[in-house]
Structure 1
């Protein structure tokens, strides 16, 4: 019985009973207003009473047609108000028609009086809960501890403001900002729109704002970045409402989250041919070397979504590899996953894997990538990056892998460090094997820094901020290209579809980001003031580090693909035999831990410049 009283069906039943009572009372009240309550003519009273069963049926039927029994009245708005008026007009017309056809005589003034009273009563029944809620909110005003400025005065803001008015919320919207100047001095859900983004700073002081929520879920990322920057200048906590999609099942306020470093990137959404990627990977055996790393693990996450026949995760680092294995087996138990530990330097180990599983597609992400560490250990960079890639391409060719994709880097362009030089050699190796292989399409994908990857600058800055600073930047003018890991990987998968053999695919990384500005934004994101609460220290360029990175050499040229975020660098002319002989000699020297490995690398990679900074 208790469950029924709390059920939706009981609420509908209760509304119907209240509507029937409202129809009865409005009919009697109309007659009482037309005549003195004690002198209502008996024929009119009898006509009203006789009509009641029809009144009741018509009312319930019409209100049901207008779906007035299936609405959430806690969040009722103008559309519900209009629906009630339309439905009561139709009900009154039905009453008049019934009386005409049955020759029931009623005073002409009865109908408009009945319409007005009935409409008011039905509105009162449905908006009573909302009115009670507003009364409770007024009583709970002392609980309000957060005075919120809403940036954006559209549909999302309206839903958020309404949700903040819940009795249990400790926040209230006290003013709104919108870039449409025509909205200034108007109201949204009772909240004043006080100006555009240029008025944010002064409005913060005027209205005693303690928190800012950006409610612009559909705005372009570049615009969002600008708005975030302005809001962060105020020193107030800044949050974002990314979506209202879940608002039907949960509180919109719960969807509000702090600003993330991805929001600071200001990139438009990346579109890929998901159907094409699915066709490319479905029922294929896919090998990911370096599958436990930042890029490799995300490759695994996106690959399993496309229902491969088998996914092979290969990495030398057992902890990260175990984590991605457990994650994938938990979320995709139906996918056949083999997790193998081993080094790409070990040819025999690699061959045993290729021979057993015979992969159709290989994503070669295994590599040493840390620039300063590789400057100190250049032989290790050659062993892992060059020898590892040589082993992988040889075996891909031997075991007739259909597609081989090398994960490269923008540091391969005119490299000034050994890590970048080894990746450039890997690209040359892929292009060389693309010419000599009959069955395998070899290609490389080149992109810049990925946000939040292991060893990248953002986790370092966040850790330094957490420890109280200082935040260390190597140079005030240093810039880098950035992309989120999922964005980069989705484009890597997309580029796989375009590979015919020998291409170096170049991802559009957007505009380069000044690392100093990134440090300032991260400090603001955490609620501090750069160089006041948190110092930024310039420490000088590290060995092999450039002021800026490139993604393409001039002589490579550039061709478009079907995806406007992916371009193709034209293959360079290479003396393949001379290159492979030189590479063998370079690897042999590295295996001996020779002292002149950088000079030998420079001979093979003509664009490499040795620097000591």
Structure 2
């Protein structure tokens, strides 16, 4: 039988065990001191990274766990998964809430519980495809930036001992709106670092995470549909388990205003077409390379008659906002590579200019109140705030591909 975790270890991360185990063991007492008997709120906790974070912290026995996510079905599956896992500690005070963290009912819940010791926010638009037009751009910025500030304002009423918000490697020298939104998010949370400790992490693609291209390989195979993948895009990958461990280590061991990232070497990068080929071969198929999506779709009909030749279309990337390479920090940032074995740390980040952030928020709010706002207007506002933001616009979206 196909085992996804073993496949990821063998063909994607090429590690038999998590690269973070040594740091977890070396800091087990410190992690226990931070988590044991603490109240924890995880926002976006039913997603791939949020749920992995939950599984990473539960062995350290927090006294309560509240999980908030707008995906009611995913929350139900998270609960079934936790309850069905042998040896998994689940606190008696465990409550999954299907609600929006920017809603009034969330505020009532937060205040009624008297706040939380640890707050981790994983709610985010994380795909470059979420910037196809002005409406998707507004939704992305509302979630990643504007509503994130609303949450931070609420937390100042009852400050947590630790606050963590997930960032992305694409925040370093961003070329897409998603990456730029996360870079702005870093400034926003750091602006509150005089109220409570804030930390974040930039990290690689999470192999086979919800909504990712590799996860789509599974769905395509189940439906005997062709597979499409870029052949020229190299990416760093971590396993789902590793993604949660990165966030736990960053949240619990990080100092105020620090950014963590995995210490991966360029040789560990993978292309999506190689992952797709290994995935199909692991399932007993021979890859049949086609010259277009249309040709692959036509050839896929033969799969239903028992053909073991699986049609794929591998091609160069030509969509907006696609970064040719991955990086975790910029040359202007100070980096500590000696603290942890598996993680580097961006240090010496200063409290950002709050007046500049307020000005950015005022401009974004004003432009979104207009009926005829354009994507170009929003990019201009973001570029004025982030001088190193060089948006790559090709006029093509991932939604135009298989």
TM (normalized to structure 2)?
A: 0.81
Q: 1:464-483 alignment to 2 at 5 Å?
A: 464-468=220-224, 470-474=226-230, 476-483=231-238
2:331 to 554, 560, 576: 554
1:269 to 18, 25, 29: 18
2:101 to 334, 344, 347: 344
Determine whether 1:578 maps to 2:348: no
Provide closer, same or farther for how the CA distance between residues 258 and 298 of structure 1 changes in structure 2, counting only shifts above 3 A: closer
Tell me if structure 2 keeps the 8 A contact 1:379–1:591: no
Q: 2:255 corresponds to which residue?
A: 500
Provide closer, same or farther for how the CA distance between residues 585 and 561 of structure 1 changes in structure 2, counting only shifts above 3 A: farther
Tell me if structure 1 keeps the 8 A contact 2:46–2:69: yes
Q: 1:62-77 alignment to 2 at 5 Å?
A: none
**Which runs of 5 or more structure 1 residues have no equivalent in the other structure?**
1-237, 241-256
Determine whether 1:450 maps to 2:206: yes
Tell me if structure 2 keeps the 8 A contact 1:410–1:448: yes
CA drift at 1:329: 4.7
Report the Cα distance in structure 1 between the residues aligned to 2:336 and 2:158, rounded to whole angstroms.
31
Secondary structure of 2:287's match?
A: coil
Determine whether 1:488 maps to 2:243: yes
Q: 1:320 corresponds to which residue?
A: 74
Provide closer, same or farther for how the CA distance between residues 597 and 295 of structure 1 changes in structure 2, counting only shifts above 3 A: same
2:321 to 541, 544, 563: 544
Tell me if structure 1 keeps the 8 A contact 2:172–2:328: yes
Report the Cα distance in structure 2 between the residues aligned to 1:373 and 1:289, rounded to whole angstroms.
20
Determine whether 1:402 maps to 2:161: yes
CA drift at 1:333: 5.5
Provide closer, same or farther for how the CA distance between residues 423 and 398 of structure 1 changes in structure 2, counting only shifts above 3 A: same
Q: CA RMSD in A?
A: 2.5
Secondary structure of 2:160's match?
A: coil
Provide closer, same or farther for how the CA distance between residues 571 and 349 of structure 1 changes in structure 2, counting only shifts above 3 A: farther
Determine whether 1:528 maps to 2:289: no
Tell me if structure 1 keeps the 8 A contact 2:52–2:241: yes
Map Cα deviations across residues 187-221 of structure 1 (whole Å, 9 max, x no partner).
Answer: xxxxxxxxxxxxxxxxxxxxxxxxxxxxxxxxxxx
Map Cα deviations across residues 231-280 of structure 1 (whole Å, 9 max, x no partner).
Answer: xxxxxxx999xxxxxxxxxxxxxxxx996233212136322133322221
Q: 2:367 corresponds to which residue?
A: 589
Q: 1:355 corresponds to which residue?
A: 111
How many residue pairs end up in the alignment?
355
Report the Cα distance in structure 1 between the residues aligned to 2:5 and 2:148, rounded to whole angstroms.
41
**Which runs of 5 or more structure 2 residues have no equivalent in the other structure?**
290-308, 395-402
Secondary structure of 2:167's match?
A: strand
Q: 1:598 corresponds to which residue?
A: 379
Report the Cα distance in structure 2 between the residues aligned to 1:588 and 1:338, rounded to whole angstroms.
37
Map Cα deviations across residues 48-102 of structure 1 (whole Å, 9 max, x no partner).
Answer: xxxxxxxxxxxxxxxxxxxxxxxxxxxxxxxxxxxxxxxxxxxxxxxxxxxxxxx
Tell me if structure 2 keeps the 8 A contact 1:344–1:384: no
Provide closer, same or farther for how the CA distance between residues 360 and 587 of structure 1 changes in structure 2, counting only shifts above 3 A: farther
Report the Cα distance in structure 2 between the residues aligned to 1:512 and 1:578, rounded to whole angstroms.
37
CA drift at 1:365: 0.4
Report the Cα distance in structure 2 between the residues aligned to 1:297 and 1:543, rounded to whole angstroms.
30
CA drift at 1:465: 3.9
Report the Cα distance in structure 1 between the residues aligned to 2:8 and 2:369, rounded to whole angstroms.
41
Provide closer, same or farther for how the CA distance between residues 570 and 588 of structure 1 changes in structure 2, counting only shifts above 3 A: farther
Q: 2:293 corresponds to which residue?
A: none
CA drift at 1:419: 1.2
Report the Cα distance in structure 2 between the residues aligned to 1:517 and 1:274, rounded to whole angstroms.
37
CA drift at 1:517: 1.8
Report the Cα distance in structure 2 between the residues aligned to 1:601 and 1:577, rounded to whole angstroms.
15
Report the Cα distance in structure 1 between the residues aligned to 2:125 and 2:67, rounded to whole angstroms.
17
Q: 1:288 corresponds to which residue?
A: 42
Q: 1:140-539 alignment to 2 at 5 Å?
A: 260-264=7-11, 265-267=13-15, 269-270=18-19, 271=21, 272=24, 273-329=27-83, 332=89, 334-346=91-103, 348-357=104-113, 358-376=115-133, 377-434=136-193, 436-437=194-195, 440-468=196-224, 470-474=226-230, 476-510=231-265, 511-531=268-288, 533-539=309-315
Report the Cα distance in structure 2 between the residues aligned to 1:495 and 1:259, rounded to whole angstroms.
26
Report the Cα distance in structure 1 between the residues aligned to 2:218 and 2:98, rounded to whole angstroms.
31
CA drift at 1:472: 1.0
Q: Which has the larger radius of gyration?
A: 1
Secondary structure of 1:398's match?
A: coil
Secondary structure of 2:40's match?
A: strand
CA drift at 1:286: 0.5
Report the Cα distance in structure 2 between the residues aligned to 1:450 and 1:583, rounded to whole angstroms.
30
Determine whether 1:608 maps to 2:355: no
